[in-house]
């Protein structure tokens, strides 16, 4: 029963990703932009992944600025992006490792970075990682290769951006930047 449930959950996840991607492909991304506290979005994404974090016995090193940080964003789409990035960080982090999440506020933008302690992404894949159906060759994990492509589109629709820094053997940092409010 557990195996059937896992297969069903995985298939549901694929269908949701394909539906999200069809929304992106059609250019019909509907946004509900509101002023939102960033900590609420990050906390919501972390709560949704609590079981996976506990299963791998991961530590979360979370850094927020002293003052509350607000962004003008679509909360649902932004949490989707954060969740996707965190799922990847969980997937590639070693058990008992740490995922570092840092929120910082600049003059005009808010930056959220998620760093894992995984294997890193080879340079030849880094420039293509945000394209649809791209998966790292050594990736034995399941997935559609759509998550980061959808994330980029969701952020661009909100005038945001996403990038990565990665070094083999030293992990990967995904960073998103969005307009401060």
Quick: pLDDT tens for 3-57: 777 667 766 766 666 666 666 666 677 788 999 999 999 999 999 999 999 999 9
Of residues 139 and 171, more confidence is placed in: 171
What is the mean pLDDT of the segment spanning 67-93? 94
| pLDDT single digits (tens) 114-169 | 999 999 999 988 888 888 766 665 554 555 677 898 899 889 989 999 999 999 99
Cα 48 to Cα 112: distance, rounded to the nearest angstrom: 18
Which token pair is 112?
């959220």
- pLDDT score recorded for residue 66: 92
By the 8 A CB rule, do 89 and 56 touch? no
pLDDT of residue 91: 92
* Whether the Cβ atoms of residue 68 and residue 37 lie closer than 8 Å to each other: yes
- Which has more confidence, 113 or 30? 113
pLDDT of residue 142: 55
CB 129 within 8 A of CB 164: yes
3-state secondary structure of 91: helix
| Contact of 113 with 123, CB cutoff 8 Å | no
pLDDT at res. 1: 80
- What pLDDT sits at residue 59? 97
């Amino acid at each position: 029963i557990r195996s059937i449930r896992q297969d069903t959950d995985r298939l549901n996840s694929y269908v949701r990703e394909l539906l999200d991607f069809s929304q992106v492909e059609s250019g019909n991304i509907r946004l509900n932009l509101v002023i939102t506290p960033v900590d609420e979005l990050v906390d919501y994404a972390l709560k949704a992944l609590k079981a996976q974090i506990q299963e791998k016995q991961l530590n979360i090193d979370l850094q927020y600025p002293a003052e509350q940080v607000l962004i003008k964003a679509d909360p649902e789409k932004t949490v989707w992006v954060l969740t996707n990035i965190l799922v990847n960080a969980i997937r590639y982090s070693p058990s008992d490792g740490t995922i570092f999440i840092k929120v910082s506020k600049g003059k005009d933008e808010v930056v959220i970075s998620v760093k894992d302690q995984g294997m890193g992404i080879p340079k030849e894949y880094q420039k293509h990682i945000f394209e649809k159906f791209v998966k790292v060759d050594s990736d034995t994990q399941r997935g559609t290769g759509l998550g980061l492509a959808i994330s980029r589109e969701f952020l661009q629709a909100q005038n945001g951006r996403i990038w990565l820094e990665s070094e083999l053997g030293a992990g990967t940092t995904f960073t998103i930047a969005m307009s401060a409010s």
